[in-house]
Structure 1
């Protein structure tokens, strides 16, 4: 195929991807589901399993093999910009006086699913062998199985919290704070797993790559923020916002290239670059940076969903695959909700607030998909198991909103109170009843 023909195919495929993904996202939102669910569904539908099976000629015409590198390049670029924004917005100072509860919830909702996932990979390795996994999985494969059950999608969770009016409630703040900590823990463990599990072959052994990765991280944390503040924020009055944005995205791409060269993944460099970018005075986010980052990433992320959908193999889903999907989905939901709820209850939250926290933490969405793609590229997953886990991520995200409604219906109604006589200034104020949902943050001082 000539270069001109490839360009034409790429332009046509790009038009279809953007329109289909954003239309599906709009439809998902109309159905009270996260926008990302519709985009992920569209990406799978445009892959070989559905479009390729129903209309193979149309699929070959729309997505010839020659445009695959260009689609992958757009997908990786979108991923870098998206995770750069996630790293920039990551703010653990939101914990405040709820730090102890959030840390307890984060640790519990990571450790319990991690243990269940890793243990399941060892106990059911014979069944997983039917899905293309080795009968004697490597330690990295076992750990990655635990990570797959431990992830919470911060962007999706934040959107659900905002759309349900939970932003200024105790369960909303605790869930978002715990999810931020979970991000830090999960990406750190995943980075170590990727160093040992990358199957592409590197000249340096993984211990050396680990040392270089730690050194690069330390350099970025120590020198990156002061350097950026001096070069970009110090000359802010003389630098156009568009130029500063371009330089920062270039900085994120360079950081992603370094971590990719070390055998990690572009996602780690992008996150790290976002974390070290300085904020405004008082720790606020720069709107001239956040807004265009969101615009660019939301526009181009459909390419990532389509590239991810190319590896979803529905024709590999036999009875074993569907059984594994059912088991994995049940474990993913119950371990997250159960551990998050118990930890929140132990942290002092009421029963209904604790249930809300547990349900919110079960949303996986885009973050899970990013980790699964990294694991597939590092050969920690087979394509059939990747397909199972993609559908698990979709199912757990779809279930979050209905489960929130169920928690609301099961909430203990606030008991009716008889009118109280007027209190004198010295009379003590009655304490609120435990178990109401949700508890406003302001009521906790």
Structure 2
């Protein structure tokens, strides 16, 4: 079978079939998880003939470009609040409220991270096949804990847009926390990889390493300088500059022994807001999410060893889901982001924050590629991401519906 034929079949399965299923289901399931589900089912059943050449080499390359673009736009959206669905004329929070909000966002990351790390170290890594190939038991546990703590910003933006303006006050709080979580996630991921590769990075330091560091410093300096100047270059210049930030960031992080996706994300985060407002960031993200990246996510599910998918893997995924959801909910209850929120409102915010979506799969893929996650752990975490994302919308709606019902009963009693 030719490369182009294999690519056509690849795209038909993971882009065409996924999009068709999404529309047939009335868009009730986030489109981000459908290619992953297709890949997991194909891996578990083994029904895909090897002669079809799927996953194809060209599909791998195109899918990787798509996820690079997705990470880049996630970096843009993390810094640029103009691209988030927000209330009009939203004013900055007063200092006491801002400090409380930051404390709540920190708790929403720290508690799930600690709970996931301890659960992984004292239970999950003791399961057959869960030992990390590199880094030792604690590094593997930290990798699992990081995935447990993730909140999926790009998918959460889509879910919140689907929820509409009715629940805007609650969804805005969750979105602001997710922005902070997303930035901390990528920073923590980079630090974890640096800690795991620290000795080898120092030993292999070369002119290429120094050049990579210089490229990152130059990107940060250029972005900072342009931000201070508040310059608004012509649109054509921005379209030229954005690929430079993307490619340079991805190349530099690869040269440093990290993953190219890290550099793509931080490249997007370094772009001045005045520049990014001149291009359709949301449309770029949607194009990557629907038109290219499904190949990457479908292949991630398909490349999981089918032998590790089974009842034991599903049990582990459900147990991890319980840890992740319970820790997120406990965090927002222990430290609510606003003093005006009722307990049920805080739980509704936690229901949104437990969404893992694409970001956990991207993080888990990076950690597996670097040897900090085993195939068994990776399969369980991918399944966890699918389950948590499917749970997000119904869980949130159930909580706000019960709150509305309780309010109605209270008014009737009065």
TM-score of the aligned structures, taking structure 2 as reference length: 0.84
1:178–1:215 distance in 2 versus 1, CA, 3 Å: farther
1:136–1:27 distance in 2 versus 1, CA, 3 Å: same
State the match for 1:54 in structure 2. Answer: 47
Deviation at 1:271, TM superposition (A): 1.2
- Shifted more, 289-298 versus 72-81: the winner is 289-298
- Shifted more, 356-365 versus 81-90: the winner is 81-90
State the match for 2:63 in structure 1. Answer: 75
The structure with the largest alpha-carbon Rg is 1
State the match for 2:84 in structure 1. Answer: none
Alpha-carbon separation, structure 2, partners of 1:353 and 1:211: 49
From 29, 35, 48, the counterpart of 1:39: 35
- Give deviations 1:21-42, integer Å, cap 9, x for gaps: 22233245x1622222223223
From 267, 286, 291, the counterpart of 2:261: 267
State the match for 2:86 in structure 1. Answer: none
- Give deviations 1:224-256, integer Å, cap 9, x for gaps: 3546999x953x1xx64xx74355224302210
Deviation at 1:315, TM superposition (A): 2.2
Alpha-carbon separation, structure 1, partners of 2:110 and 2:220: 27
Deviation at 1:372, TM superposition (A): 0.7
Q: 1:416 is paired with a residue of what secondary structure?
A: helix
State the match for 1:408 in structure 2. Answer: 400
State the match for 1:102 in structure 2. Answer: 101
Alpha-carbon separation, structure 2, partners of 1:105 and 1:74: 39
1:228–1:80 distance in 2 versus 1, CA, 3 Å: farther
Alpha-carbon separation, structure 2, partners of 1:416 and 1:349: 19
| Contact map agreement 2:190 2:258 (CA 8 A) in 1 | yes
Unaligned segments of structure 2, at least 5 residues: 82-89
- Give deviations 1:403-435, integer Å, cap 9, x for gaps: 11221232131532899xxxxxxxxxxxxxxxx
Unaligned segments of structure 1, at least 5 residues: 420-445
Deviation at 1:96, TM superposition (A): 2.2
Deviation at 1:211, TM superposition (A): 9.1
Alpha-carbon separation, structure 2, partners of 1:62 and 1:288: 37
Alpha-carbon separation, structure 2, partners of 1:383 and 1:215: 35
* Higher RCO, Cα 8 Å, sep 6+: 2
CA RMSD in angstroms comes to 3.5
State the match for 2:325 in structure 1. Answer: 333
Deviation at 1:90, TM superposition (A): 1.7
Q: 1:344 is paired with a residue of what secondary structure?
A: coil
1:102–1:157 distance in 2 versus 1, CA, 3 Å: farther
Q: 2:336 is paired with a residue of what secondary structure?
A: helix
